[in-house]
């Protein structure tokens, strides 16, 4: 317990310590500074309730902390096991594990710098490693005497325009403003820092901020304290104390968004501190003037006319909140302004990098939030251009319209005026033509899609429109909402394209499904999905909010599901523990309600045809919602079954009659539901429907356990013993009834829901499940190659991978 490890230059020390409460922690502190200043903790949330503890390196290269019973209470959990490893405390304060004979001493297997606590040291990084998925951030202590994880954190936000956010639990407290190539534009103190340098680094694999000292003998640290303040301190060896260099937030204008609202500007050099931009007025004038409450923000005094709008040129501004901003690093400021001018949804733009004349383009849509103006002497902020009506804007100073000021003769002025007038007229004529053609083209496309979505046949043979009140979105708006469809915003990928998280100009978070351009079924899927789901309203069906059809682009906009899809919980060991038994039962019942609505209670009888775990989305309260209606089909009121020669579905969920003969009905959806029930109960994925042994097939395995009286062995281990055996047996039996080989034996959804909700309803004994869909002859190796489709009984089956 009293043994410590000291770095070679005696700058830092590692060892166990306690706060006099008989709880031991492994930490790192400055070796030569008293009182002890802790900079890192290993087991901050798992202290040892003893004065005895041991630090050891295991055979696979992990660092473990052992309690008196030799039980590991903390481990480095090295992702790449390695033999012959050594642990070393560096003079930077970094505790590292590396291979003993590695020629590159900086090739670390594990390092404490990847897992900060409340302190950032020189050379330490805060930000994301996109390759490893490690998010390095600071989290406060709970109190000055309790180093466990507190309620405040300092994290990098990488959506849109990267910047740092101080959080209190899940609430934003302050933000740094974005990095402008020199400093964060919301921290002017960085400009005058002469004893240190700052680095912001962004590549496809890494995005982080770090700082370094110009004089390495000077100690400096950045800490997130238990009150939510970010503080930079310098050690004064003469006084023997830590001197506060600066802290953040500093004043009321650093409180995120709440002070001056949308389009409001906070400025501590005036009173009251909130003001509206030129061309704007307070939304709540009485509250603004009488109560000095600017939280309602500002609204425009003059209406905008896209094409003739100008821009307010604002200086020394902390740029607006940038998580939904659109960023293009290839554009200069002039190109950025032109792009903003052409997009009527754009409300402001700025340079991303102000060094070397400026580069990179940032564009905002919707309200501009959390702006602040600094004085020239403060030295913070940067230039920002805000869209305004032509009468309110600084047209002569806008980079997109600024003209040369050289030459002063009257003749030159006349020539310029004539040239500008002629050019403007020609430009307006050209612009009008382009706008007209674009509108006509969009009307044609919209009408075409509307006809395909909403037309229906009347009894007299005439075709009428069954109009849908479904908003059409602009593609540019959706591109900005998803940060140009960046991988960071990608939620999943299916057979017909990708789904992205997006934030609309009004602040609403949505899921945007972008159909693949190369998919020959893309437009069919879109029209089918819109036609079906636009008029369906049920709490267990995902809600369609709108669509976008622009030439080759086809997109659908849905409500955003915070917890993504069911398969991300069921089949991932780390997350399956979040699904307790009651939650699994509620999800099964919710899916059943949604399916019953489709089959019986909606205005159409709808067969989904692709019901699977990845198509069950979960909202913030884990309520299930059926999604992806691209494969769905409408039945007539008296129609029982339909037949297709092109079977499209997902391996493992298709019923035998659908896979073999192309016959589908409500009973084929029931089969898929049965597979889902057994997957939810077991936490195992059904590995297929054909050419597998029962041991590798969930349905066969369940059937075997049922016949042997061991059905409860199917229940997912992560549920533990916290479930009712009768409920589990009932769900398993219902699942087996749904996957019976003969469709006539399967119950309908109304009966299934009754069985799920009633403990007294009688259940029949299930018959043989339909987990074989045919046999094939394996003639040679070449005939066994996997393909996107296969043919059985002259029916083509296209298999879709789950998201």
Residues annotated as catalytic are: 610
- What is the helix (H) or strand (E) element at residue 446, kind and residue range? helix 410-454
**Contact status, residue 633 vs residue 667, Cβ threshold 8 Å:** no
The Cβ of residue 653 has, within 10 Å, a number of other Cβ atoms equal to 29
Residues 6+ apart with CB under 8 A from 302: 279, 388, 389, 391, 392
Task: From residue 182, give the alpha-carbon distance in Å to each of 129, 216, 354.
Answer: 22, 21, 8
Q: Where would I find the beta strands (DSSP E) of 195-297? A: 196-202, 206-213, 220-224, 230-236, 241-248, 264-266, 274-276, 280-282
CA 559 to chain centre: 14
- The count of other CB atoms within 10 Å of the CB of residue 797 is 21
C-alpha 135/C-alpha 156 separation (Å) is 8
Question: What is the DSSP code (8-state) at residue 271?
Answer: S
CA distance 219 to 217: 6
Residue listed under structure tokens 């109009």? 467
Q: Is 778 exposed, middle or buried (0-12, 13-18, 19+ CB in 10 A)?
A: exposed
Start-to-end C-alpha separation, the chain? 50
Sequential DSSP letters for 365-406: ES---SEEE--TTT---EEEEEEE-TTTS-GGG-TTT-----
How do beta strands 646-649 and 795-799 pair?
parallel
- DSSP per position, 650-676: -TTT--HHHHHH-EEEHHHHHHHHHHH
The tokens describing 696, both together, are 């590798």
Read off the tokens for 479: 């591109």
Q: Which of 561, 548, 552, 559 is nearest to 471 (CA)?
A: 548
Cα distances (angstroms) measured from residue 456 to each of 235, 315, 526: 78, 57, 17
Length of the chain: 803
The residue whose two tokens read 């020394």 is 316
Whole-Å CA distances, 649 to 618, 688, 689, 742, 796: 22, 12, 12, 19, 11
CA 622, distance to chain mean position in Å, is 17
Alpha carbons 733 and 764: distance in angstroms, whole number: 9
Measure the CA–CA gap between 273 and 268, rounded to whole angstroms. 5
Pair 455, 465: CB distance under 8 Å:
yes
Query: For 43-170, where are the E strands, in sequence order?
Result: 54-57, 63-66, 72-75, 85-89, 95-99, 108-111, 119-120, 126-129, 134-136, 138-143, 146-157, 163-168
Question: Of 350, 355, 390, which Cα lies nearest the Cα of 368?
Answer: 350
Cα–Cα dist 366/765, whole Å: 59
Contacts 24+ apart (CB under 8 A), 513-520: 513/555, 513/556, 513/557, 513/558, 514/485, 514/553, 514/554, 514/555, 515/554, 515/555, 515/556, 517/552, 517/553, 519/495
DSSP element (H, E) containing 8: none
Contact 377, 337 (CB under 8 A): no
Report how far Cα 42 is from the mean position of its chain's Cα atoms.
29
């Amino acid at each position: 317990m009293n043994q410590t490890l000291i770095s070679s230059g005696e700058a830092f020390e590692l060892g166990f310590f306690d706060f006099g409460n008989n709880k031991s922690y492994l930490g790192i502190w400055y070796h030569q500074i008293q009182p002890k200043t802790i900079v890192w903790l290993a087991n901050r949330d798992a202290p040892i309730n003893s004065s005895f503890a041991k630090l050891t390196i295991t055979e696979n290269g992990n660092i473990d902390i052992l309690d008196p019973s030799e039980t590991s209470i903390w481990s480095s959990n090295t992702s790449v096991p390695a033999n012959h490893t050594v642990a070393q405390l560096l003079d930077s304060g970094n505790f590292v594990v590396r291979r003993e004979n590695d020629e590159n001493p900086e090739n670390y297997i594990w390092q404490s710098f990847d897992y900060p606590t409340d302190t950032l040291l020189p050379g330490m990084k805060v930000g994301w490693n996109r390759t490893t998925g490690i998010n390095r951030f600071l989290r406060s202590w709970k109190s000055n005497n309790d180093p466990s994880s507190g309620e405040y954190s300092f994290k990098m936000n990488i959506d849109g325009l990267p910047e740092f956010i101080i959080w209190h639990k899940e609430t934003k407290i302050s933000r740094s403003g974005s990095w402008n190539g020199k400093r964060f534009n919301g921290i002017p103190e960085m400009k005058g820092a002469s004893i240190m340098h700052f680095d912001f680094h962004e590549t496809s694999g890494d995005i982080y901020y770090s700082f370094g000292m110009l004089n390495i003998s000077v100690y400096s640290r950045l800490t997130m304290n238990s009150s939510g303040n970010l503080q930079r301190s310098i050690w004064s060896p003469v006084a023997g104390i830590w001197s506060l260099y600066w802290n953040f937030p500093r004043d009321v204008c650093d409180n995120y968004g709440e002070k001056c609202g949308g389009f409001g500007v906070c400025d501590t050099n005036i009173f009251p501190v909130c003001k509206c931009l030129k061309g704007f007025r307070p939304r709540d004038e009485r509250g603004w003037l009488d109560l000095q409450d600017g939280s309602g923000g500002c609204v425009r005094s003059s209406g905008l006319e896209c094409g003739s709008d100008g821009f307010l040129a604002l200086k020394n501004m902390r740029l607006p909140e940038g998580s939904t901003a659109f960023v293009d690093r290839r554009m200069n400021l002039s190109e950025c302004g032109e792009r903003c001018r052409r997009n009527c949804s754009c409300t402001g733009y700025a340079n991303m990098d102000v060094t070397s004349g400026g580069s990179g383009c940032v564009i905002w849509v919707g309200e501009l939030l959390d702006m602040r103006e600094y004085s020239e002497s403060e030295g913070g902020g940067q230039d920002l251009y805000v869209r305004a009506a032509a009468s309110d804007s600084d047209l002569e100073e806008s980079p997109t319209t600024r003209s040369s000021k050289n030459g002063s003769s009257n003749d030159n002025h006349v020539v310029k005026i004539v040239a500008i007038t002629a050019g403007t007229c020609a430009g307006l004529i050209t612009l009008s033509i382009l706008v007209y053609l674009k509108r006509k083209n969009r009307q044609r496309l919209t009408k075409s899609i509307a006809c395909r979505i909403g037309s229906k046949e009347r009894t007299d043979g005439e075709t009428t429109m069954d109009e849908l009140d479904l908003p059409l979105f602009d593609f540019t708006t959706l591109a900005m909402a998803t940060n140009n469809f960046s991988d960071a915003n990608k939620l999943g990928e299916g057979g017909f394209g990708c789904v992205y998280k997006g934030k609309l100009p009004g602040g609403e978070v949505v899921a945007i499904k972008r159909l693949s351009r190369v998919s020959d079924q893309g437009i069919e899927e879109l029209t089918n999905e819109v036609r079906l789901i636009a008029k369906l309203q049920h709490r267990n069906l995902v809600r369609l909010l709108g669509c976008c059809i622009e030439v080759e682009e086809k997109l659908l906009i849905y409500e955003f599901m915070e917890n993504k899809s069911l398969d991300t919980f069921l089949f991932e060991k780390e997350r399956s523990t979040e699904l307790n038994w009651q939650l699994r039962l509620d999800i099964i019942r919710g899916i059943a309600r949604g399916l019953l609505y489709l089959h019986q209670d909606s205005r159409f009888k709808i067969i989904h045809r692709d019901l699977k775990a990845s198509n069950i989305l979960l909202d913030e309260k884990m309520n299930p919602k059926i999604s992806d209606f691209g494969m769905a089909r409408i039945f007539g009121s008296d129609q029982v079954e339909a037949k297709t020669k092109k079977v499209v579905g997902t391996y493992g969920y298709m019923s035998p009659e659908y896979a073999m003969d192309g016959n589908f009905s409500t009973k084929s959806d029931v089969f898929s539901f049965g597979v889902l029930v057994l997957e939810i109960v077991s936490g195992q994925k059904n590995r297929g429907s054909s050419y597998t042994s029962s041991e590798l097939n969930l349905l066969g395995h369940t059937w075997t356990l049922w016949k042997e009286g061991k059905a409860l062995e199917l229940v997912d281990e992560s549920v533990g013993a916290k479930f009712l055996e009768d409920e589990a047996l009932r769900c398993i039996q219902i699942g087996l009834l749904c996957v019976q080989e003969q469709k006539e034996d399967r119950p309908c959804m109304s009966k299934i829901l009754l069985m799920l909700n009633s403990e007294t309803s009688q259940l029949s004994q299930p018959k043989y499940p339909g987990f074989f869909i045919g046999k094939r002859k394996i003639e040679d190796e070449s005939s066994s190659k996997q393909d996107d489709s296969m043919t059985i009984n002259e029916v083509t089956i296209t298999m879709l991978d789950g998201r």
